[in-house]
């Protein structure tokens, strides 16, 4: 979609000057975009990009992707993108939810989520607030790049080393069991399944629980993930659990980077502002922050506290001491991907607003 170099003050103005072109190869489309890049860098560039994405997917297909095609794709009054737009750009389908697959409610009713693994992922502050549950397809993309959603806009988290996504033996086993559990969780991310579904999970993941423990877990008529996970942590590895007293499946330490193109300036603890007609507004400028992330092993809380106490009593050199943990809302987002992660950085804290 292209727009001529004419003044645009309204949607009707934009409609009058839009020109549509169809391309059959990526190279020809890229060549055209490069030749008209100034249009995509203009004040309507984002809108042109969105219209192009919608037309490339096909308007009828976009409507079929959605759970409710009557809802707006761009919300008033601030023009925020719906989750359907975000998902369209990330996975190529305008589905409205962030969980994996689809959630069936019976009677032909279901909600659509992410059907496949993606190249660029998605994390959101809303998950840390328990408003939603992002599935593994978005949390574990092909490349270590994530769009981060906040209350106001989107930022980007990325790593230079793809190994940050590699899982150790314990994490691989947890992911295997969690995927089987989530595939049968019809609670909308509530974290519980039926007894019948639990028996399917046990069989699929080759968990061999003693009869007494099996009866204990099933006594309530449903199985909660947190309780099942504690059982798995305490179950010997030869029975399908991950109990490992050696502690060799230790923590990971790596660096990630966060970019906010319009971060509010927060130098020396004070928000900088610039004068405008009628008052002042916070000064906004691009900010790139390097974060050091430490992810402890996923032991039981008791084992973790014992290890932490032991580590604190060691006479390690100052160089080997971990950096003090810092907190910002971005850390809550990171913990939805790497649970119990601690982060540290130099200078201004990373901003997702």
Confidence of residue 246 (pLDDT cuts 50, 70, 90): low
The verdict on 291 and 336 lying in the same domain is: yes
Q: Which of 239, 272, 299 is the last residue of a domain?
A: 239
Checking if the pLDDT of 142 tops 90, the result is yes
Whether residue 35 lies inside any domain: the answer is yes
Q: What CATH number has the domain bearing residue 185?
A: 1.10.238.10
Whether residue 106 lies inside any domain: the answer is no
Q: Which of 204, 220, 239 is the last residue of a domain?
A: 239
What are the pLDDT digits (tens) for 47-69? 889 999 999 999 999 999 999 99
The verdict on 36 and 19 lying in the same domain is: yes
The verdict on 257 and 340 lying in the same domain is: yes
- Dihedral angle sign, alpha carbons of residues 337, 343, 347, 349: positive
Which residues sit opposite 281 in a β-bridge? 274
Checking if the pLDDT of 101 tops 60, the result is yes
Question: Residue 353 has what pLDDT?
Answer: 86
Which range of residues forms the domain containing residue 297? Answer: 248-345
Angle in degrees, CA 164, 166, 168, rounded to 5 = 120
What are the pLDDT digits (tens) for 166-178? 877 777 888 899 8
Whether residue 38 lies inside any domain: the answer is yes
Helices marked H in 58-187: 59-65, 83-91, 125-128, 136-139, 169-182
Checking if the pLDDT of 323 tops 90, the result is no
Name the more confident of 105 and 317: 105
Residue 223: helix, strand or coil by DSSP?
strand
The verdict on 255 and 341 lying in the same domain is: yes
Among residues 224, 227, 223, 229, the alpha carbon closest in space to that of 241 is found at: 229
Whether residue 160 lies inside any domain: the answer is no
Count how many Cα atoms sit within 13 Å of the Cα of residue 231 in the half-sphere of its side chain. Answer: 21
Q: Measure the CA–CA gap between 79 and 41, rounded to whole angstroms.
A: 18
The verdict on 198 and 265 lying in the same domain is: no
Q: Which of 201, 218, 239 is the last residue of a domain?
A: 239
What are the pLDDT digits (tens) for 198-215? 999 999 999 999 999 999
The verdict on 229 and 261 lying in the same domain is: no
pTM of this prediction exceeds 0.95: no
The verdict on 258 and 226 lying in the same domain is: no
Whether residue 318 lies inside any domain: the answer is yes
The verdict on 287 and 217 lying in the same domain is: no
Q: Work out how many domains the chain is built from and give that number.
A: 3
Name the more confident of 61 and 232: 61
């Amino acid at each position: 979609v292209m727009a001529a170099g004419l003044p645009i003050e309204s949607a009707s103005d934009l409609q009058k000057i839009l020109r549509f072109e169809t391309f059959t190869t990526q190279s020809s489309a890229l060549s055209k975009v490069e030749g008209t890049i100034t249009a995509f860098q203009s004040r309507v560039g984002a809108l042109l990009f969105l219209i192009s994405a919608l037309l490339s997917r096909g308007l009828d297909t976009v409507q079929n992707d959605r759970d409710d095609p009557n809802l707006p794709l761009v919300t008033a009054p601030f023009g925020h993108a719906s989750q359907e737009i975000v998902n369209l750009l990330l996975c190529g389908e305008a589905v409205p939810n962030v969980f994996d697959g689809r959630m069936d409610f019976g009677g032909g009713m279901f909600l659509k989520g992410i059907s496949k693994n993606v190249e660029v992922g998605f994390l959101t502050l809303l998950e840390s607030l328990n408003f939603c549950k992002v599935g593994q397809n978005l949390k574990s993309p092909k490349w270590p790049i994530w769009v981060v959603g906040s209350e106001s806009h989107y930022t980007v988290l990325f790593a230079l080393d793809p190994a940050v996504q590699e899982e150790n033996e314990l994490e691989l086993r947890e992911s295997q069991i969690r995927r089987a559990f989530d595939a049968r969780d019809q609670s909308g991310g509530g974290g519980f399944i039926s007894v019948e579904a639990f028996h399917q999970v046990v069989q699929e993941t080759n968990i061999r629980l003693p009869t007494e423990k099996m009866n204990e877990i099933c006594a309530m008529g449903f199985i909660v993930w947190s309780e099942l996970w504690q059982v798995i942590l305490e179950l010997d590895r030869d029975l399908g659990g991950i109990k490992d007293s050696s502690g060799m499946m230790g923590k990971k330490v790596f660096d990630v980077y966060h970019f906010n193109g319009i971060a509010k300036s927060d130098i020396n603890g004070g928000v900088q502002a610039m004068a405008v007609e009628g008052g002042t507004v916070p000064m906004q400028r691009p900010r790139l922050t390097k974060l050091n992330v430490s992810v402890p092993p996923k032991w039981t809380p008791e084992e973790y506290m014992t290890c932490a106490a032991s580590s604190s009593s060691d006479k390690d050199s100052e160089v080997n001491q971990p950096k003090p943990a810092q907190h910002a809302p971005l850390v809550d987002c990171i913990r939805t991907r790497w649970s119990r992660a601690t982060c540290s950085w130099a200078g201004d804290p990373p901003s997702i607003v």
